[in-house]
Amino acid sequence: AGRVVEARRLWQRFNGIAGEDRELLRDPAFAADGPPPPFGWALTSGAAGVAERAPGGGLAILHFGREPVMLARQLLILPAGGYRLRAEFTQAPESGRLEWRLQCVTGAGGASVPADARPREIAASAACPGYW
């Protein structure tokens, strides 16, 4: 229903996360004991690919190249403005095969940029209550 702030408060209470929550991105290191979805990472495994937490932190991705697939997502509450996305890779992804996507929960508006070793810029709108 677009009530993302209220949903996060309930998620915090249910998961024992006390106090005011100011984190924009939860568990950026993909820790083994990271918080559950939707405000923690939801990782996908299926016929198109696999995403799983790597031992010691990080994310291991295997994409079979058969079809596009979302392998990891998290629900974010982002104040309007620009954001810089940065990732480190043990093996550089093939050009054009991996991207960051920001999609409003209402389905209106979104953006995508390549995910590679270069920092990328992406913007959030004040009109969107939350982003995947």
Query: Distance of CA 45 to CAs 42, 84, 90, 106, Å?
Result: 10, 27, 21, 25
Q: Is the pLDDT of residue 29 over 80?
A: yes
Q: Is the pLDDT of residue 21 over 80?
A: no
Q: With CA atoms as reference, report the closest residue to 99 among 112, 82, 89, 84.
A: 112
Q: Is the pLDDT of residue 19 over 80?
A: no
Provide, rounded to the nearest whole percent, the portion of the chain with pLDDT above 70.
Answer: 100
Task: Provide the pLDDT for residue 43.
Answer: 96
Pairing of strands 72-73, 81-85: unpaired
Q: With CA atoms as reference, report the closest residue to 84 among 125, 115, 60, 38.
A: 115
The per-residue pLDDT for range 85-131, each reduced to its tens digit, is 888 888 888 887 888 899 999 988 788 998 888 899 999 999 999 99
> Would you place residue 40 in the very low, low, confident or very high pLDDT band (cuts 50, 70, 90)?
very high
DSSP 73-114: E--B---SEEEEE----SSPPPTTS-EEEEEBTTS--EEEEE
